[in-house]
A = this chain, B = another copy of it.
Amino acid sequence: MQVSFTSAEVAVLVQSKASRGATTETIRGLASLARAEPGDLSFLGNAKYKAEVAATAASIVLLPSDYTGEPRANQLFLFVDNPSVALARLCARVEQSLWPKPAPGIHPTAHVAPGAQVAASATVGPLCVIETGAVIGDRVHLQSQVFVGRGARIGDESWLMPGVVLAAECAVGRRVRLQPGVIIGSDGFGYEFVQGRHEKVPQVGTVEIGDDVEIGANSTVDRARFSRTVVGEGTKIDNLVQVAHNVTIGRHCLLCAQVGISGSTTIGDYVVLGGQAGVSGHLTIGKGAKIGGQAGVTQDLDPGAFVNGNPAIPLQLERRLVVLTQRLPELFKRVDALEGRPA
């Protein structure tokens, strides 16, 4: 961290409601409770770590209002509604210092084809390629070595990091962040089996990414066979996730790392998928459903369903079956005994 804060500045930034103790240290770093040193700020974001507060060397600790312990010497407790949200406010302030807005303009090493429209307030970094007919909105940042295909569109204030590929005709909303290596608009995986060979079904649709979406490093979103693959407003996708052709993902979903969604599946708003989970094709996942890590979903899910396992079943049942399966050695012995077999 290359910025520093006094305790008074921190108190204002985190919207602290009460405090206990005091520190003369200037805050120059952020760290977990266990690793913090004097000069660091820390926080209690997960009750699991409550016992670590008493021993932390952090100079400032952000705590929930109901925390009852006392600070050490030269240590300040700041009480806030939600320590994680408070920390996020502080981090946002740090982020502004660390990654200042780039200056507008097109780097001389970038290749912008005739017929592309780039807003005067946009930044096109080194060695980017923008093909004809593409439209780049206000204050968009194409960081470095980005590819924007023919006729693709990028909404205002979006940030495409190094190595992102946005293929022809695909559209990205406003304030979208695409992490490095994201591919939007690769061909969907569609073939017809004709006379012993897989004949390609041309994929002539597009991809539409809503406002405020974030997509993680090296994730892939395929273009539709025809019509559109859709990622809804506010949805957040982690690294190495696969979204197949003609999928529709609702608004404000969370897809953890290495999730895979098969073709033509529709996912409602506020759905959460744990890491490495997979969803079969042509399914409908209801609003607010929760899918556990590594789960394999093979059937439609009702709104609010919470499933786990492969094939995925309701969490309560899955937990019970895991326990009973671990008791199989005992059950076999009990059946042996009922049959009069020796132990």
A interface residue numbers (CB < 8 A to B): 1, 29-32, 35, 46, 48, 82, 84-85, 87-88, 91-92, 94-95, 98-99, 107, 109, 111, 125-127, 129, 144-145, 147, 149, 161-163, 165, 167-169, 177, 179-181, 183, 186-187, 189, 191-192, 194, 196-205, 212, 214, 216-218, 220, 222, 225-227, 234, 236, 238-240, 242, 244, 246, 252, 254, 256-258, 260, 262, 264, 275-276, 278, 280, 282, 293-294, 296, 309-311, 313, 317, 320-322, 324-329, 331-332, 334-335, 338-339
Contacts and interface: CB of A to CB of B under 8 A. Distances in A.
Given A99-B168, A183-B218, A218-B181, A311 B322 contact: yes
From A48, A129, A168, A203, name the one whose CB has the most chain B CB atoms within 10 angstroms. A129
A202 B88 CA distance: 6
B144 A147 contact: yes
A127 B202 CA distance: 27
Contact of A191 (B30, B32, B254, B293): B254
B326 A332 contact: no
Given A257-B244, A260-B275, A293-B278, A30 B204 contact: yes
Given A177-B187, A335-B338, A257 B242 contact: yes
Contacts of A294: 278, 294, 296, 310
A145 B148 CA distance: 11
A279 to B, nearest CB: 9
B252 A198 contact: yes
A273 to B, nearest CB: 12
Given A218-B183, A218-B218, A204 B331 contact: no
Contact of A236 (B109, B189, B242): B189
A147 B163 contact: yes
A327 to B, nearest CB: 8
Copies in the complex: 3
Given A129-B162, A187-B214, A310-B310, 14 more contacts: A88-B199, A91-B203, A91-B226, A98-B169, A127-B127, A127-B145, A144-B147, A181-B186, A189-B256, A240-B242, A321-B329, A324-B328, A325-B325, A327-B332
A333 B262 CA distance: 38
Given A88-B202, A198-B236, A321-B325, A226 B1 contact: yes
B334 A339 contact: yes
B181 A165 contact: yes
A167 to B, nearest CB: 7
A202 B282 CA distance: 35
A338 to B, nearest CB: 5
Contacts of A226: 1, 29-31, 91
A267 to B, nearest CB: 15
Contacts of A252: 196-198
Contact of A278 (B202, B244, B276, B332): B276
Contacts of A313: 326
